[in-house]
Amino acid sequence: MAIRDRKLDHLRIALSKDVQFKEKTTWFEKVLLEYRCLPEIDLSDVNLETEFLGKKLRAPIIVSGMVGGIEEAKKINKDIAKACEALGIGFGLGSQRAMLEDAKVSDTYYVRDVAPSIFVAGNIGVTQLKDYSIEQIEEALQAVQADALAIHLNAAQEAVQPEGTTNFKGCLKEIARVASKLSKPVYVKEVGHGISYAVAKELAKTDIKAIDVQGAGGTSWVAIEALRAGKSISKELWDFGIPTASSIAECRKVFKGPIIASGGIRSGIDAVKAFVLGADLIGIALPVLKAQQEAGSKGVQKYLEKIIEEMRIGLFLIGAKTPKEASGRGRLYL
């Protein structure tokens, strides 16, 4: 099936069906914040400004990569990126494979006309890396004026996708190759099933600059692919993966660079819990897409403003002036 038809299926299914994990959660409900009823700071002291891979963000948020390569993506990407520009936060593009295969669809990814200043991440799947030279990847990033490349790791998705690329042999070497040679910083992201301690330990030996955990508890890509294929799968497979809170804690143990907490982040308080576990930023995908569908760029901005306001309040209530100061002010109770 052509990449574009598949992308359209993904978009339609994500928007029309319940594609969240069924029973498994992010485990954020197991993270207890150390409430300080004497925070000894002023709410107005809370400063969310964060630097990520050389760019300043006004709040520590990146909208995770979703669409590109199909006509529908043009408005979605521009609406979301415009809201990100207004808020001074980061924005991720969907997989650029479609434009690497056919340069004519590059315009469905281009957002610099509405988002000239923010951090923008390009995106490519880990199993595709071997198909492209460094020059081709550089060109794809240049065409959208991206600041960095996010490589997505999606073994669970590919395993359930009928036409999935299931040969993951040599992927770590490919990540190391691209991260060491590309002129832009490279980071890795899962797509909703999490990154473990063991994988983070291997990734830490490469030149990647950040890890975006995209853990379990939010959107399940196993679910999207099973629904698309009309496959009956077990609840256990639907819910496969490492809960986001656990994935953050595991990655933090071995990875010294920035960690993006993502996969099922649904409130500013989830974000504060992620900071407590050692994350530096958060990522959100599906709820932002839904806000865009309901009310365009303004809807996205309103949705994210609420997250930011609650993040500010949450930090105040644990007496932390910055996301960094939140680290350790609470813990994961198992």
Ligand X SMILES: Cc1cc2nc3c(=O)[nH]c(=O)nc-3n(C[C@H](O)[C@H](O)[C@H](O)COP(=O)(O)O)c2cc1C
Least distance to ligand X from the beta carbon of 65, Å? 4
Q: Which is nearer to ligand X, 123 or 297 (CB)?
A: 123
For 128, phi then psi, to 5°, come to: -90, -15
Q: Dihedral (C-alpha) 139, 183, 108, 118: value to the nearest 10 degrees?
A: -150
Least distance to ligand X from the beta carbon of 95, Å? 3
Least distance to ligand X from the beta carbon of 63, Å? 9
Q: Which is nearer to ligand X, 152 or 329 (CB)?
A: 152
End-to-end Cα separation, the chain, in angstroms: 43
Q: How far is CA 84 from CA 15, 121, 241, in A?
A: 21, 13, 29
Closest residue to ligand X: CB criterion: 218
Least distance to ligand X from the beta carbon of 198, Å? 20
Q: How far is CA 298 from CA 58, 74, 293, 301, in A?
A: 18, 16, 11, 5
Q: Which is nearer to ligand X, 157 or 206 (CB)?
A: 157
Structure tokens belonging to residue 160 = 């359930």
Q: Which is nearer to ligand X, 250 or 270 (CB)?
A: 270
Q: Which is nearer to ligand X, 109 or 255 (CB)?
A: 109
Number of H helices, E strands in the chain: 13, 12
Q: Which is nearer to ligand X, 10 or 209 (CB)?
A: 10
Least distance to ligand X from the beta carbon of 48, Å? 19
Q: Which residues bind ligand X (CB under 6 A)?
A: 10-11, 14, 64-67, 94-95, 123, 152, 189, 191-192, 214, 218-219, 262-265, 284-286, 289
How far apart CA 119 and CA 57 sit, in angstroms, is: 8
Least distance to ligand X from the beta carbon of 76, Å? 9
CA 68 to mean position of chain CA atoms: 15
